[in-house]
């Protein structure tokens, strides 16, 4: 009786060992049939959408506007990228319906072709404190936009070309009084002033697409 139990126990042990060995072999074989997993690649570095922040002098001449959002500073996007950054904020139906917005688009194109190129002409003028650009937007009316450029005197010739082109397209700030209540009105305006800071001469140029933005920029820059 004991011998029968011993033989049965031996058979059970042998079968159990065979089963476990077979499972391990099948598992190894299954792993061998699988193609090797690709090693994770390092993700490409994120593209920089902006140059270094403006130098301390040019930055100090950029206005801070109450109730207005600054949506970009120093966009390193080239002329077409810069135009897209600003103009994409204007719905196409607004552009189609408002002549002044189309005039603003034309003026902005002239501005960008001259001033935005300064960054390329002076080895990223942002970083060297030769140029600062900011884009402003009314948080409620996306098409109400403003653009300000601060250009240092040693690259001012390029900025003067922009001023000349703008002067042919719009009378510089046709007089804006106290800020009115209610929604903005589409109005293309532009203006420029000379400023001196820390022994350097700067030209500040700005343009806007609404009467409210014109008032905000004009008041903040001229009263500075």
- Tokens 């060992």 map to which residue? 17
In whole angstroms, what is the distance from residue 22 CA to residue 30 CA?
12
* Model pLDDT for residues 2-51, shown as the tens digit of each residue: 444 443 443 343 334 333 334 333 434 444 454 445 444 443 333 334 46
The whole-number pLDDT of residue 175 equals 57
141 Cβ contact list (under 8 Å, min separation 6): 183, 184, 210
The whole-number pLDDT of residue 61 equals 93
- The angle subtended at Cα 77 by Cα 107 and Cα 197, nearest 5°, is 70
H helices of 34-91, where?
Answer: 56-60, 78-87
The whole-number pLDDT of residue 10 equals 36
* Model pLDDT for residues 134-171, shown as the tens digit of each residue: 999 999 999 999 999 998 876 666 667 677 777 777 76
* Model pLDDT for residues 78-129, shown as the tens digit of each residue: 888 889 999 999 999 999 999 999 999 999 998 888 887 766 665 567 777 8
Read off the tokens for 137. Answer: 């937007």
CA of 25: how far to CAs of 113, 173, 181, in Å? 71, 85, 81
């Amino acid at each position: 009786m004991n011998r029968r139990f011993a033989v049965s126990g031996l058979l059970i042990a042998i079968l159990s060992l065979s089963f476990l060995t077979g499972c391990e072999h099948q598992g190894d074989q299954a792993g061998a049939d699988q193609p090797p997993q690709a090693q994770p690649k390092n993700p490409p570095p994120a593209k920089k959408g902006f140059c270094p922040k403006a130098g301390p002098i040019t930055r100090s001449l950029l206005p801070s506007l109450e109730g207005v959002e600054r949506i970009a500073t120093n966009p390193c996007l080239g002329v077409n990228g810069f135009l897209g950054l600003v103009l994409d904020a204007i719905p196409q139906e607004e552009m189609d319906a408002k002549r002044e917005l189309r005039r603003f688009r034309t003026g902005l194109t002239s501005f960008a072709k001259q001033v935005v190129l300064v960054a390329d002409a002076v080895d990223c003028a942002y970083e060297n404190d030769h140029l600062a650009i900011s884009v402003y937007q009314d948080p409620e009316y996306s098409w109400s936009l403003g653009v300000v450029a601060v250009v240092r005197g040693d690259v001012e010739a390029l900025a003067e070309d922009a001023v000349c082109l703008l002067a042919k397209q719009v009378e510089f700030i046709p007089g804006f009084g106290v800020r009115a209540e209610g929604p903005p009105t589409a109005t293309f305006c532009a203006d420029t002033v000379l400023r001196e800071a820390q022994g350097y001469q700067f030209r500040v140029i700005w343009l806007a697409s609404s009467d409210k933005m014109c008032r905000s920029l004009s008041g903040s820059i001229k009263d500075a």
